[in-house]
A and B are shown apart, each in its own frame.
Chain A
Amino acid sequence: MIDRADSNAQAFHQLYQGNRSWLEQWLSRRLGSGHDAADLSQDTFMRVLAGPQRIVDLAEPRAYLMTIGKRLLVNFYKRRSLERAYLDALAQLPEVYAPSPEQRWQVLETLHALDDLLDGLPGRVRRAFLLSQLEGLGYREIAVRLGVTERSVKRYMVQAYEHCLLVALC
């Protein structure tokens, strides 16, 4: 076991040495920022280290790094777009409603988690669900807002609940 762990650590070292700057460049081209690329590249290697895949067994290490890197890029862009939307929404609020930095952070974390949770739901389903959860609208009102039948709204809601619960159950 010790031998295997050792050889894996060594393989990781080699992987890191041999691919770090390549990965950083690859990420940098997609991000347009060297700074973010350096962060994401570190994250990628951390994921590799923590992942289930034994590094010595990797046939195509760069393909593997790219797969993980892409996934992190997706998260990165999603976070950024959400944060921007949040800040824009805050900017529309009158001064008196401005939340404290702690409140902001808390809200933003919750928003991220829920955004991830709703990921993959079709646009109308997502909107129907948000109107129900955030604005507290009844199904009939949602139907009117979306210009669909109440039956469709029920279908959307079942789909959204099922999706969220399935994510939570796994």
Chain B
Amino acid sequence: MLNPEPSEEARRVARSAARWLVRVESGALSEQDLASLQRWREASDLHEHAWHNAQALKGRFEALPPAVAMATLDRSKQGRRQLLKGMLGLAVVAPAGWLATRELPLAAWGADLATGTGEQRRVTLADGSVLQLNTATAVNIDDRQRRVSLIRGELSLRLANAQPLLIETAHGRSCLRSGEIGVCQDEIACEFSMFTGFADLWPMRYSALALRAGQRVRVTDRGVGPIGVFDVSQPGWREGVLVALDQPLGDLLRDLDRYRPGILRWSPELESLRVTGSFRLAEPDRVLTVLAATLPLEVHWRTRYWATLVPRKKIV
């Protein structure tokens, strides 16, 4: 029933075929390169076989309707991991629509509190501390241990009294001693931002540090970034807005994408357009309309959920 472990030779062939494919796709190959690719293919039947397989694979993708296939195969891990929930022996409840719940990971199913894409929530903990969840976020709350575990997404926590609260993340824990902290976690990093007060930080496998109001630090598996500063008075997601101050449009769109169910794409030419403004997060599609009205771009809707931004055509 189990797939056999691939042989060392199969691995070697697959790897060199993969490298050749990427070289071909990433741009101009010289005559010499092409000749050497040809020699590689002819060197062994296995090479030629792998090369053929790769072309067949590409053909299968090409035969698919792109929009539908993208939406289906690029569905979040939540969709793919729902199966694990069955493994854990929990009852299965089918989500109403995958768009509503996409992006929530496995652990989020068992989480105490969660938001879907585009949702925000605010709750008051037993001791009066205020916990706010941003889009696509899941947390576990242990009132007795005074601990909040961020499974995924972004939260802010404002302490109500002198009793510290612990925040656990995949990249380390933080002890909030006073004031308010923001924590944002994605697949590769966790960012801690101190709005007011101070906190201790124990990054996984790295030495502890202290964070004060206005300071921000990013922690990954590879290490702890430099402590930066930010403007605590600038409104943000906690106020339901996205603020851009002369920043590249690409950054804004990547941020907006977190709040919007569906697919958002844009032409590379738009990436570095400068944008300034304050946008309401409750209506991400309206943000696109506003951008189209103020910047030289237009929005193409492939489906209700798939928006593509392209440069506006010049009137000749």
Residues of A within 8 A of B (CB): 29-32, 47, 51-52, 68, 70-71, 73-74, 76-78, 80-82, 84-86, 88-90, 92-93, 97, 99, 107, 110-111, 113-115, 117-119, 123-124, 126-127, 130, 132-136, 138-141, 144-145, 147, 150, 154, 157-166, 168-170
When A165-B17, A169-B50 are in contact, do A157 and B22 touch as well, CB less than 8 Å?
yes
When A30-B92, A92-B305 are in contact, do A127 and B74 touch as well, CB less than 8 Å?
yes
How far is it, in angstroms, between the C-alpha of A82 and the C-alpha of B64 when the chains are bound? 15
When A31-B92, A170-B6 are in contact, do A89 and B14 touch as well, CB less than 8 Å?
no
- Residues from chain B with Cβ under 8 Å of A157 in the complex: 18, 21-22, 25
Q: Are A81 and B82 in contact (CB under 8 A)?
A: yes
Binary A-proximity of B222-245 (CB < 8 A = 1, otherwise 0): 000000000000000000000000
Could you tell me the dominant secondary structure of chain A's interface residues? helix
Q: Are A74 and B87 in contact (CB under 8 A)?
A: yes
Of B21, B65, B73, B93, the contact of A130 (CB 8 Å cutoff):
B73
- Residues from chain B with Cβ under 8 Å of A117 in the complex: 57
- Residues from chain A with Cβ under 8 Å of B1 in the complex: 47, 51-52, 68, 71
Q: Are A73 and B87 in contact (CB under 8 A)?
A: yes
- Residues from chain A with Cβ under 8 Å of B254 in the complex: 147
Residue ID in chain B nearest A140 by CB atoms: B268
B10-65 interface with A by 8 A CB criterion: 10-11, 13-15, 17-19, 21-22, 25-26, 46, 49-50, 53-54, 57-58, 60-65
Q: Does B246 interact with chain A (Cβ within 8 Å)? A: no
Binary A-proximity of B116-160 (CB < 8 A = 1, otherwise 0): 000000000000000000000000000000000000000000000
Chain B CB within 10 A, most for which of A51, A88, A126? A88
A19 to chain B, nearest CB (A): 18
Q: Does B209 interact with chain A (Cβ within 8 Å)? A: no
A39 to chain B, nearest CB (A): 15
How far is it, in angstroms, between the C-alpha of A136 and the C-alpha of B64 when the chains are bound? 12
- Interface residue tally for chain B (C-beta within 8 Å): 65
Q: Are A114 and B26 in contact (CB under 8 A)?
A: no
B51-96 interface with A by 8 A CB criterion: 53-54, 57-58, 60-75, 77, 79-80, 82-83, 85-87, 89, 91-94
- Beyond A82-B72, A110-B60, A115-B80, list 9 extra A-B contacts (CB 8 Å): A30-B89, A74-B83, A84-B79, A130-B74, A158-B19, A166-B6, A168-B53, A168-B57, A169-B14
Q: Are B83 and A133 in contact (CB under 8 A)?
A: no
Q: Are A29 and B89 in contact (CB under 8 A)?
A: yes
When A32-B91, A92-B305 are in contact, do A135 and B71 touch as well, CB less than 8 Å?
no
Q: Are B53 and A165 in contact (CB under 8 A)?
A: yes
A167 to chain B, nearest CB (A): 8
Q: Does B250 interact with chain A (Cβ within 8 Å)? A: yes
How far is it, in angstroms, between the C-alpha of A121 and the C-alpha of B79 when the chains are bound? 15
Q: Are A139 and B26 in contact (CB under 8 A)?
A: yes
Residue ID in chain A nearest B1 by CB atoms: A51
Residue ID in chain B nearest A167 by CB atoms: B3
Q: Are B61 and A165 in contact (CB under 8 A)?
A: no
Q: Does B306 interact with chain A (Cβ within 8 Å)? A: yes
Q: Are A166 and B61 in contact (CB under 8 A)?
A: no
Q: Are B14 and A162 in contact (CB under 8 A)?
A: yes
Q: Are A154 and B26 in contact (CB under 8 A)?
A: yes
- Residues from chain B with Cβ under 8 Å of A52 in the complex: 1
Of A118, A140, A158, A164, the contact of B73 (CB 8 Å cutoff):
A118
Q: Are B72 and A111 in contact (CB under 8 A)?
A: yes
B8 to chain A, nearest CB (A): 12
Q: Does B313 interact with chain A (Cβ within 8 Å)? A: no
When A81-B82, A82-B72 are in contact, do A107 and B65 touch as well, CB less than 8 Å?
yes
Task: Name 29 interchain pairs, CB-CB below 8 A, sorted by A.
Answer: A29-B89, A30-B87, A47-B1, A77-B83, A78-B80, A81-B79, A81-B98, A82-B75, A85-B72, A85-B79, A89-B67, A111-B72, A113-B60, A114-B61, A115-B72, A115-B80, A126-B73, A130-B73, A135-B66, A135-B70, A144-B250, A144-B268, A158-B15, A158-B19, A164-B57, A166-B11, A169-B53, A170-B6, A170-B10
